[in-house]
Amino acid sequence: MPHKGNVTRHILVVAGSLLAIAVSALVATTASGKAQGTPQDTTAADTAYEAPEITDTASLAGPRQPIFFRHDVHAGQYLIDCQYCHVNVEISPKPGIPTVGSCLNCHLIVGTGIAEVDSVRAYEREGRVIEWVEVHDLAQFVHFPHQVHVNAEQEFEVVCEDCHGQVDRMAQIYQFAPLKMGWCLDCHEQKTEEFGKPVSTDCSVCHY
Ligand code: HEC
Ligand code: HEC
Ligand code: HEC
Ligand code: HEC
Ligand code: HEC
């Protein structure tokens, strides 16, 4: 986390973040959806996506969060890569949620005048943690190595959307897939059939 008062470092971090947005926008327009987490068929229309204004938050699917953090604004409109925030997604069995400090990489400057952004700054200023409500929560007796799926061999074609839906169009995140045993088995069987390379369905790979 950047040191308070170390202005030079803050400016560097902010510059880096703005660069990251520019770069990810560039990647998304030129690599036609190769970046993980963007739709397969990224078209010119997608890059011009504008997240809608939302007044009625009560009718949105998914649990209400302490801060109205919008994936459609960040990942959809501004094309910030999933990995930029979920940094451990390739290595961790539980990818995790970014810290308030990392929000401030951008929000030290970006979003001035938006009340919800001021609340984010207040958390950082007061040294408080944002207690995000967990959306996904598999039973303890299930072994789900998240990173194995993110890193699945290319021929298996597993992407974030398969399990989380089109997150970059969600104003508030919700559980998209049933997360039941049958759902896991269906995909493992389907991939085995499609690619002729087995994905295990042994009880012991998912249950200790
Ligand atoms: C700017 C940072 C940022 C970006 C970019 C981002 N996320 Fe998130 N993500 C968060 C934060 C903060 C939360 C926790 C708040 C919430 O659930 O809305 C979260 C929550 C989630 C969750 C729910 C976690 C749970 O509680 O089970 C999923 C799934 C997720 N993100 C997937 C994605 C995907 C897929 C992408 C890319 C399309 C993405 N995120 C891009 C910051 C980000
Ligand atoms: C094969 C399905 C699958 C794929 C592919 C997948 N996820 Fe997940 N993800 C899950 C499940 C299931 C959970 C809940 C895990 C748990 O409760 O232990 C989860 C949890 C998460 C969480 C919550 C992390 C936490 O620590 O609470 C985030 C964030 C997330 N996924 C982001 C992503 C991103 C970003 C991608 C693409 C790079 C992705 N996921 C790809 C199934 C998947
Ligand atoms: C890489 C840069 C970047 C990061 C990191 C980032 N944001 Fe943002 N965020 C933006 C941009 C760009 C906007 C749009 C600002 C605008 O409309 O003026 C935005 C808008 C917002 C808004 C207002 C959304 C609305 O209603 O229009 C909130 C709230 C917000 N961000 C919260 C967060 C939180 C919480 C985090 C950390 C988990 C975070 N942001 C991380 C770039 C970022
Ligand atoms: C969208 C498809 C998909 C879904 C849904 C899915 N998986 Fe997988 N899973 C895969 C693929 C593909 C692999 C193999 C990756 C590789 O070997 O490169 C895999 C591998 C695994 C492995 C490692 C197997 C081994 O031999 O070591 C475990 C454990 C696992 N998955 C558990 C689960 C659980 C538990 C769920 C449900 C909560 C689940 N998976 C849902 C596609 C999926
Ligand atoms: C690919 C992963 C995977 C494999 C393989 C798997 N399971 Fe499961 N199993 C799960 C998940 C995920 C749940 C949790 C479902 C829930 O929370 O509703 C579960 C739940 C269960 C439960 C609890 C009861 C229930 O339905 O919720 C039992 C018992 C069980 N599995 C037995 C088995 C047996 C026996 C095998 C081998 C024939 C097996 N499982 C193979 C993923 C798997």
The predicted-structure confidence for 55-77, as pLDDT tens digits, reads as follows: 899 999 999 999 999 999 999 99
Average pLDDT, the chain: 83
Q: Which residues of 107-136 are buried (b: 16+ CB within 10 A; e: fewer)?
A: bbebbeeeeebeebbebbeeeeebeeeeee
C-alpha–C-alpha distance, residues 204 and 208, integer Å: 6
Extract the tokens encoding 147. Answer: 């990173």
Give the residue among 54, 30, 59 at the shortest CA–CA distance from 43: 30
**The ligand 1 atom nearest the CA atom of 168:** 38
Rg (CA), the chain: 19
Q: From the CB of 80, is ligand 1 less than 6 Å away?
A: yes
Which of the residue ranges 119-123, 131-135, 153-157, 162-166 would you say has the lowest mean pLDDT? 153-157
72 within 8 A of 166, measured Cβ to Cβ: no
C-alpha–C-alpha distance, residues 146 and 150, integer Å: 7
Q: From the CB of 95, is ligand 2 less than 6 Å away?
A: yes
pLDDT mean over 121-145 = 96
Query: Any idea which ligand is nearest the CA of 57?
Result: 3
Residue-level length of the chain: 208
